[in-house]
Amino acid sequence: MSNTLTQFGKVAVLMGGQSAEREVSLMSGHGVLNALLSQGVDAHAFDPAQRDLAELKKEGFQRCFIALHGRFGEDGTVQGALELLGIPYTGSGVMASSIAIDKTMTKRVWLSENVPTPRYVLLKQNNLGETAQAHVLQTLGLPLIVKPAREGSSIGVAKVTQASELPQALQAAALCDTDVLCEQFIAGDEVTCPVLGEGDTAHALPVIRIVAPAGNYDYQNKYFTDDTQYLVPCGLPEAEEKAIQAHVVKAYQVLGCKGWGRVDVMIDAQTRKPYLLEINTSPGMTSHSLVPMSAKAAGMDYESLCMHLLASAGLEHATTQKDVA
């Protein structure tokens, strides 16, 4: 075990950052940091909002555990910086991260590969008028979901049940992003499923069924209440769970994800057909988070999960070129 720890060297846990999910990232990061320290890893907190990433190289960090969420952490930007610095990092690379953060681009790839996802209309921040609203209502009907295309943690998300609610929902989402995604509402069971690995070795962990108060799985109910129920085992028929896991693994693979990820899914109550909503390439690692919960159900505790992810850290474009003075 000590040889393995020596191989990791000095590890930076990237947490905080500049996105709207900073608060959640700090919770995730401190959880990961404490887990790695408990296993004897030479791990240190590093907040890119407060320190220049170039300091990672200057201070001799040899590996990064990315516990950042949202923009500038989960969107390919920090991944690209770490590629240039030559410091291996956890999770997906530049391309997969940049596609996965964008729910519209993710849908386009999934639809081209026959991965089921709800119908959608993409609007721009500067074009949310009556004509655009009429197009959304005609295409998707009611109820529908409005969300920023590139945010997470349910920030800026609204369910629209009446046409009169649409303008306010669009404006709220537009405050978070220039791209506003309007999506077909799927009524039914809400589940999520983590994936570990890369390519042909990618495999799904147990599905978690989410039962939120009044069906409202918002930011508050995700992170700060104990009223939301997380069922694992999920209680779905075995064949249904396996079908969801197969869809999720394919969705992960076609985007080129690696290391880990988590896919959120709605199951239509009438047809029992699963619809994949989005993929998280740097999922939460807080006390309420779902990947650790699913991993535990599969026999992997929090510390083991963190060590597994740290061991999977790598570079997409490993170079043999010597550092230039």
Are 162 and 194 found together in one domain? Answer: no
What is the average pLDDT across 304-316? 97
CB 49 within 8 A of CB 18: yes
Are 111 and 131 found together in one domain? Answer: no
In percent, the amount of the chain with pLDDT more than 90 equals: 85
- Residue 71: per-residue pLDDT: 87
Q: 134 is in which domain, residue-wise?
A: 120-184
Is residue 320 domain-resident? no
Residue entry with tokens 């026959």: 114
Number of domains comprising the chain: 3
- Residue 323: per-residue pLDDT: 45
Is residue 303 domain-resident? yes
List phi, psi (to 5°) of 285.
-130, 35
Q: Active-site positions?
A: 21, 153, 223, 262, 264, 278, 280, 284
Last-in-domain residue among 132, 153, 184: 184
Q: DSSP characters for 108-151?
A: HHHHHTT-----EEEEETT--SHHHHHHHHHHH-SSEEEEETT-
C-beta atoms surrounding 308 within 10 Å: 16
Are 201 and 241 found together in one domain? Answer: yes
Is residue 316 domain-resident? no
Residues 260-270: tens digit of each pLDDT: 999 999 999 99
**CATH number where 167 lies:** 3.30.1490.20
Residues 169, 325: Cα–Cα separation, whole Å: 52
List phi, psi (to 5°) of 118.
-60, 150
**Distance (Å) of CA 25 to CA 42, 80, 219, 245, 261:** 20, 19, 13, 26, 15
**CATH number where 51 lies:** 3.40.50.20
Are 125 and 271 found together in one domain? Answer: no
Is residue 319 domain-resident? no
What is the average pLDDT across 197-217? 88
Residues 13-54: tens digit of each pLDDT: 999 999 888 999 999 999 999 999 999 999 999 999 999 999
Are 254 and 140 found together in one domain? Answer: no
Burial of 155 (0-12, 13-18, 19+ CB in 10 A): buried
Are 10 and 159 found together in one domain? Answer: no
What is the average pLDDT across 139-157? 88
Residues 98-111: tens digit of each pLDDT: 999 999 999 999 99
Is residue 211 domain-resident? yes
Are 215 and 287 found together in one domain? Answer: yes
Are 104 and 234 found together in one domain? Answer: yes
What is the average pLDDT across 164-172? 97
Are 290 and 237 found together in one domain? Answer: yes
- Residue 113: per-residue pLDDT: 98
Residues in the chain: 325
The verdict on pTM exceeding 0.85 is yes
What is the average pLDDT across 199-225? 78
Are 149 and 214 found together in one domain? Answer: no
Are 106 and 220 found together in one domain? Answer: yes
**CATH number where 104 lies:** 3.30.470.20
Q: Is 198 helix (H, G, I), strand (E, B) or coil?
A: strand
Are 210 and 292 found together in one domain? Answer: yes
Angle between helices 302-311 and 22-38 (to 10 degrees): 90
Whether residue 6 is predicted with pLDDT greater than 80 in this model: the reply is no
